[in-house]
Chains A and B, each alone.
Chain A
Amino acid sequence: MSGAIEIQNLKSRDPFAEADEDSGQTTQTQEYIHIRIQQRNGRKTLTTVQGIPSKFDHKKILKVIKKEFACNGTIISDTESKGLGEVIQLQGDHRIKIKDFLVDPENGLGLDEKTIKIHGF
């Protein structure tokens, strides 16, 4: 019992990392990927994906996504998005699909679902 506690105490722990709600554990990478939706005129919408890790090639991702979701899209560069990093912007509401894509370990990026936040209605 006491041994376990000591070992726990010896672990280096990032106090600024957010605590996991379930376990109280801290997860190191708390860079969320935000998926947002914006209304345009009429029934049109835009989906923006912010915060995809830079180890992925955004251009390639976009290319695949465009084909798969049959929509157009662009990459908003860091300067254009005012320091929010590269943002993928797609035409239409693809929030669910893109989340599935990001999570999918085989045909997608295989990211952790917990790091993804879907915003909007």
Chain B
Amino acid sequence: MSSEDPSAQRRASRKSVAFTEEKLVVDADGSVTMVATPNDDTKETAMSHTPRTPPLSAALGAFTDASQAPVDGAADGAPAAENPDELDLSLMKKKKKKVKKEDGEGEGGDGAAAAGGEEAIDLSMKKKKKKKVPKEEDEFAKKLEALKIEGGEGVEGAEAAGEEGEQEGDMDKGTGIWSHDETKTINYDPLLSRFFALLAQKNPDHASTGTRSYKIPPPQCLREGNKKTIFANLPEICKRMKRADEHVTAYLFAELGTSGSVDGSRRLVIKGRFQQKQIENVLRTYIIEYVTCKTCRSPNTELSKGENRLYFITCNSCGSRRSVQAIKTGFSAQVGKRRKMQG
């Protein structure tokens, strides 16, 4: 054990980063509050922070993209936005706290198109995203980005107006160069932006599949009395994940180290106080372990009991099949009343 060489260590770390990549898979509905959870404390979740931002920004980004696309387009957005990533790459970084801060900032701060746009493009470069972003760098990058986008737009606009004025027109309305009987050759840039705009328009969920983010409705947690938590939309979430309620329930109980029951309206009653965020984290690990396909990362999988009491996950999109561990509770300490002594 102690003879682990550094390479093994590195491998381990790489793996955990790879995990983070999957983490973003599981964002719940992309609402702003969901996205920022500044004080997660498990290692995995802390790691998962940066990747968790994208879905929000994906929404934002998609929005801004769509709105901007006809004007300046994804084409010139992309190169500009590459910069922050390159910056990131150049420095090796430490994550955790800084990332957290960044999260909070991204949420509270400038919901402006600039930030959104930048992050949206970050999304498309998943590989680089693996590296964590130190706060200062990120802020700086953001500012830079904002400047760039603003500046870029200005310049772009001027240019467009100046030298290729005839290339203008409303794509949606089909005027200008986009009109049906227009014979002029359309420049590459507007065509490209049109392509992306149409792509985003026609496939609203394309962004999510393309970036492998997988959305489930956020768990609804209510408090029952003082000591119990009600997990209201478990059936809905299970349906979304195509897993049996019992399986998810068993996993939740095993991970949270508690017990509970299902009430009349099929809501799950968990003993102990849990916040939505905590449940969310557990669900996230569940999805990574039991829902996503390890080969293609698609969540479109089926869990079935194989021939010999083993559970297998079969992927519907790539056809791969792997076995998963059964849910084990492990040791749980005696909490509360003392055990009755024998004899």
Contacts and interface: CB of A to CB of B under 8 A. Distances in A.
B15 A120 contact: no
Q: Which 5 A-B pairs have the closest CB atoms?
A: A121-B278, A38-B257, A39-B272, A113-B12, A110-B2
B281 A121 contact: yes
Interface in B123-177: none
B330 A38 contact: no
Interface stretch (B41-49, B68-76, B97-105, B189-197): B41-49
A55 to B, nearest CB: 8
Interface of B: 1-2, 4, 8-9, 11-16, 18, 41-44, 254-258, 272-274, 277-279, 281-282, 294, 330-333, 335-336
A29 B1 contact: yes
A53 B1 CA distance: 10
A105 B4 CA distance: 9
Nearest to A21: B294
A111 B282 CA distance: 25
A110 B4 contact: yes
Best-buried of A34, A89, A105, A113 by chain B (most CB within 10 Å): A113
A84 B335 CA distance: 18
A39 B335 contact: yes
Given A22-B14, A121-B281, A84 B41 contact: no
A96 B273 contact: no
A121 B255 contact: yes
Contacts of A120: 42, 255-257, 282
A99 B258 CA distance: 22
A87 interface: yes
B12 A84 contact: no
A38 B332 contact: yes
A87 B331 CA distance: 8
Nearest to B46: A96
A81 B9 CA distance: 31
Contacts of A46: 333, 335
A81 B16 CA distance: 30
A53 B12 CA distance: 19
A118 to B, nearest CB: 5
Contacts of B257: 36-39, 119-120
B2 A113 contact: no
Contacts of A119: 254-255, 257, 330
A6 to B, nearest CB: 25
Given A29-B1, A36-B332, A121 B44 contact: no
Contact of A84 (B2, B14, B43, B331): B331
Interface in A68-121: 76, 81, 84, 87, 89, 93, 95-96, 99, 105, 109-114, 118-121
A39 B330 contact: no
A76 B332 CA distance: 11
A99 B273 CA distance: 24
A41 interface: yes
A120 B284 CA distance: 11
Given A22-B15, A95-B42, A120-B42, A34 B330 contact: yes
A99 B42 CA distance: 10
Contacts of A95: 41-42
Interface in A39-84: 39-41, 46, 48, 50, 53, 76, 81, 84
A22 B19 CA distance: 10
Given A36-B331, A39-B257, 4 more contacts: A38-B333, A95-B41, A110-B2, A121-B279
Contacts of B11: 22-23
A47 to B, nearest CB: 9
B282 A121 contact: yes
